C-alpha cells in the first residue's frame, strides 16, 4: 500500500538533485522466444549499462505540482515518461511534494538505447530520495513496469540477464568494455517492428549459464553470442541501419541494440574504440562510451 509522504524518522534530503545520469543500455543479444496470450513478446536478453545518457535535474516543490521545465521536441509534457513516472510515484505514495524537472537530452530517440525508459527510472529513483518516500527497489520495479517493459531494468540498476517482457531480471557480472555506438538518421518505431510478420518469434530458450560460459572464454565477446532477432527485420526496412552494420562489421563484429536504430561494437580499450570512431563517415552520429556496473543512483533504493 502507499507509504506516507515523508518519513518522520529521517530528515528530508537536500531540496534538489542536479546532474542525475539516466544511463543508456545495450542489448548484448536479444532473442524472441514466443508471444504471450496478452499479445506481448517473450524475450531473453542481456542488458549492459553505459556511462552515457541523458542528464536530469530535480528541484523539489512543496505545492504538489509536477512540471517539466525543458521542452523535448516531439514529446508533449503529459506524454513524457518522466512526468508520468513522477505522477505515478506521487499517487502511489500520497506524497504532498511536487517537482520541477529539467532534461538534457543526449540520447537519440527511436535508437534502441532505452533513453525514455532510463529517464523514467532515474525519475523514480531520484524522487524516492528527494520526496523521502523510501520505497524498496522491488516496489519501484513494480511501479516501473506500468511505464514500460525496459523501465524495471533501469530501476534494478545492474547489468542483467532478462526474461519475460524484460522484467524478470538476474544480475550478471560483465567485463569492462568500451563501446562505439553509431546511430543512423532514422527513427525505428519499436511497436511496428514487433508487429512485423517476418519477425523471428521462436528462438530457443536459453539459460543464463549459456551466455556466461561463452563470454568468459570467447575473445570476441560479446559480439559472437546469439543475435538480435529484430535486426533482420530492421535491416530489410531501413537501408541506413544496414549500411552502418556493413561498415562497422569491416572493423569489428557489430550488432544492433534493441529494436534499433543504433548499432554497436565492443572494444577492450577506449583508444581502440576512438580509433574506429575516427574512421567513420563525418556525417554519422556516434559516441564512445564505457560500460557501467551499476546505475549511478543505485543507492537511492534498497
**What residues act catalytically?**
25, 150
Chain-centroid distance, C-alpha 64 = 28
Let me know how many helices (H) and strands (E) the chain has, helices first.
9, 10
Helix, strand, or coil (residue 131): coil
User: What number of residues does the chain have?
Assistant: 302
Which among 84, 109, 110 has a CA at the least distance from the CA of 99? 84
Q: Answer whether 166's CB lies under 8 Å from 153's CB.
A: yes
Which among 188, 140, 164 has a CA at the least distance from the CA of 295? 140
Residues near 137 by Cβ (< 8 Å), separated by ≥ 6?
Answer: 155, 156, 157, 301, 302
Residue with cell 552520429: 285
For residue 60, give Cα distances in angstroms to 21, 146, 299.
18, 24, 19
Amino acid at each position: 500500500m502507499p507509504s506516507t509522504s515523508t518519513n518522520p524518522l529521517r530528515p528530508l534530503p537536500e531540496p534538489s538533485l542536479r546532474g542525475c545520469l539516466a544511463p543508456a543500455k545495450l542489448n548484448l543479444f536479444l532473442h524472441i522466444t514466443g508471444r504471450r496470450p496478452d499479445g506481448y513478446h517473450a524475450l531473453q536478453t542481456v542488458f549492459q549499462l553505459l556511462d552515457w545518457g541523458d542528464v536530469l535535474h530535480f528541484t523539489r516543490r512543496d505545492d504538489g505540482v509536477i512540471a517539466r521545465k525543458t521542452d523535448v521536441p516531439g514529446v508533449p509534457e503529459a506524454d513524457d515518461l518522466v512526468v508520468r513516472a513522477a505522477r505515478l510515484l506521487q499517487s502511489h505514495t500520497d506524497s504532498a511534494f511536487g517537482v520541477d524537472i529539467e532534461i538534457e537530452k543526449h540520447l537519440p530517440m527511436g535508437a534502441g538505447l532505452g533513453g525514455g525508459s532510463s529517464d523514467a527510472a532515474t525519475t523514480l529513483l531520484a524522487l524516492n530520495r528527494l520526496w523521502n518516500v523510501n520505497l524498496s527497489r522491488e516496489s519501484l520495479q513494480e511501479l516501473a513496469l506500468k511505464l514500460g517493459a525496459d523501465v524495471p531494468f533501469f530501476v534494478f540498476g545492474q547489468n542483467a540477464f532478462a526474461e519475460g517482457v524484460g522484467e524478470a531480471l538476474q544480475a550478471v557480472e560483465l567485463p569492462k568494455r568500451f563501446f562505439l555506438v553509431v546511430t543512423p538518421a532514422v527513427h525505428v518505431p519499436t511497436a511496428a517492428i514487433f508487429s512485423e510478420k517476418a519477425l523471428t518469434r521462436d528462438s530457443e530458450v536459453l539459460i543464463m549459464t549459456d551466455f556466461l560460459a561463452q563470454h568468459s572464454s570467447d575473445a570476441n565477446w560479446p559480439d559472437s553470442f546469439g543475435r538480435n532477432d529484430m535486426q533482420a527485420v530492421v535491416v530489410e526496412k531501413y537501408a541506413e541501419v544496414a549500411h552502418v552494420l556493413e561498415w562497422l562489421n569491416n572493423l569489428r563484429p557489430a550488432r544492433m541494440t534493441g529494436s534499433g536504430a543504433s548499432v554497436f561494437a565492443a572494444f577492450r580499450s577506449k583508444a581502440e574504440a576512438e580509433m574506429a570512431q575516427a574512421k567513420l563517415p563525418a556525417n554519422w552520429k556516434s559516441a564512445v562510451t564505457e560500460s557501467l556496473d551499476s546505475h549511478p543512483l543505485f543507492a537511492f533504493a534498497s
